[in-house]
Amino acid sequence: MTGKKRRLKRILKNGKTLIMPADHGVTKIEQGLENIDELIRMVCDYIDAVVLHKGIVKNSKAILDTDIGLIVHLSASTYLCRDPNDKRIVSDVESVLKLGGDAVSVHVNIGSDTEGRQLEELGKICDQGDSYGIPVLAMMYPRGNVEVNVETVKQSARVGYELGADIVKVPYVENFPEVIRYCKIPIVIAGGSKGSEIELLKRVEKVMREGASGIAVGRNVFSSSSPRDIAKALYDIIHEGMSVEEVLENERNMVISGWR
β-bridge pairing 69-73 and 75-76: unpaired
3-state secondary structure of 118: helix
Q: Could you give the residue numbers annotated as active site? A: 23, 141, 169
* Cα maximum dimension of the chain: 51
The whole-angstrom separation of Cα 54 and Cα 60 is 10
The whole-angstrom separation of Cα 5 and Cα 219 is 29
The whole-angstrom separation of Cα 54 and Cα 9 is 22
> How crowded is residue 50: how many other Cβ atoms within 10 Å of its Cβ?
27
Q: HSE-up of 124 (CA within 13 Å, CB side)?
A: 12
Q: Which string of DSSP letters, residue by residue, matches 177-195?
A: HHHHHT--S-EEEE--SS-
**For residue 118, what are the CA distances in angstroms to 86, 138, 167, 244?**
8, 11, 17, 38
The whole-angstrom separation of Cα 121 and Cα 160 is 12
> Residue 221 carries which side chain, given as an amino acid letter?
V
Q: Where are the beta strands (DSSP E) in the chain?
A: 17-21, 49-52, 69-73, 75-76, 88-89, 103-110, 136-142, 167-170, 187-190, 214-216
